[in-house]
Amino acid sequence: MDTIEKLGVLSADSRFDLACACGTNRDDHRRRGQEGKWLYPVALPQGGYSVLLKTLLSNTCKNDCGYCPLRSGTDITRCTLQPEEVANVFMDYVRRRKVFGLFLSSGVIGNPDNTMDRINAVARLLRQRHQFKGYIHLKVIPGASEAAIEDSFALASAVSLNIETPGKKRFELLSGQKDYMRDIIGPMKFMSRLRQQGGRAEKVKCTTQFIVGASDETDSEIIEYMSGIYNKLRFNRVYFSAYQKGLGRPSIPGEQTRLPDPDYVFAREHRLYQVDFLMRRYGFSKTDIPLASDGNLSLEKDPKELWASMHPEFFPVRINTACRESLLKVPGFGPQTVTGIIRLRREGLIRHLEELGLKGKRLGKARPFVVCE
């Protein structure tokens, strides 16, 4: 295959990584296709627009990750781009103003460091030969050496390493080749230490991702790990990717009967994103998140509303005197609304909720939990 044909295959295969949708309008966001699968927005050589050129360097992979349709042993068209090919095609997109940055990942070619050498080579070509100063997101391959990770930090705007599951026990259901502590947790801790050393590394964003529903984890386990990723490792973001049944082969006993339908898994993913937002932006801790007796989130009610209904002693919140943290606990209030409330209070008393610009469902959610005095 020539470069364009290979890019067509590899950019299409990159859609299986569902997190980090980066569109700026409706057409750029991921879309749900047939059979519950999601299509990730990518800039394909046949045309089409995405904010980031998102592609794999190779879909050849030696790993056996049960959730991944590109794992070793599957019957798919395999191909690999050379670093020069990726750099040249990307710069062509940049010159035509099709994209503003690059999101580059890869299957494992031979071993983790060989793959990292190729990924980093693309970024080095862009930075040094093409003098590209824009956004580059590089995936860290599980099992990569500290030297390879340092090289990525020196070149990238952001790096990510997927944690995949909460804990070694769940991880071993998905892979018999990778070692959770050595290949995942060890590199993540090193990434955290690099950022804490200061300098350029401090400015490099670090993210990770859970594969929701590919193992037999509970939401409480994911939330526990998510708390540690934010509070101990100081990563910038945690993402969630709902396992797409039929694309992979999770090594879970009784898979055909135990795995839920796509609607359930995507609903779980949505609730986990809401929890992530509560913990990152609303001041909630892991102990604030309401869970059912089985350790999972409610699919019927969002976690913030559920928390409010379980804590009547906290309400009503007084619009004109409450602190920012208390206001953020009110259903229907987000960071922008709370910032607006604090700004309006400097001008005088807020006498009616309608003064906040809330309408419809958000207004209805907030009304039982606040008073305007």
Q: Write the pLDDT tens digit of every residue in 5-31.
A: 887 777 776 666 654 444 334 444 454
Model pTM?
0.85
Q: Which of 22, 64, 61 is nearest to 41 (CA)?
A: 22
> How confident is the model at residue 14, as a pLDDT?
67
pLDDT above 70 (res 41): no
pLDDT at 250: 47
The CATH fold assigned to 3-283 is TIM Barrel (3.20.20)
Whether the pLDDT of residue 245 is over 80: the answer is no
Q: Give the H or E element holding residue 239.
A: strand 237-242
- The alpha helices in the chain, defined as continuous H runs, are 3-13, 83-95, 112-124, 146-155, 168-171, 186-196, 219-231, 255-258, 262-281, 303-310, 324-327, 335-345, 360-366
Domain segments of the chain as ranges: 3-283, 312-371
Instruction: State the pLDDT at residue 373.
Output: 79
Mean pLDDT in residue range 235-251: 73
Rounded to whole angstroms, the Cα distance separating 108 from 173 reads 20
Query: Tens digit of pLDDT for each residue in 271-319?
Result: 999 999 999 999 999 999 999 999 999 999 999 999 999 999 999 999 9
Give the pLDDT of residue 252. 47
Type of residue numbered 288? D
At 140, is the pLDDT very low, low, confident or very high (cuts 50, 70, 90)?
very high
Residues 6+ apart with CB under 8 A from 266: 36, 242
CATH class of 312-371: mainly alpha
CA distance 50 to 101: 10
Residue 162 scores a pLDDT above 70: yes
Residues of the chain with pLDDT > 90, as a percent, come to 61
If you ran DSSP here, which 8-state letter would residue 53 be given? E
Q: Which residues contact 2 (CB under 8 A, 6 or more apart)?
A: none
Report which listed range, 43-52, 209-218, 329-338, is most confident: 329-338
- pLDDT for 121 beyond 60: yes
Position 314 scores a pLDDT of 96
> Residue 255: which pLDDT band, with cuts at 50, 70 and 90?
very low
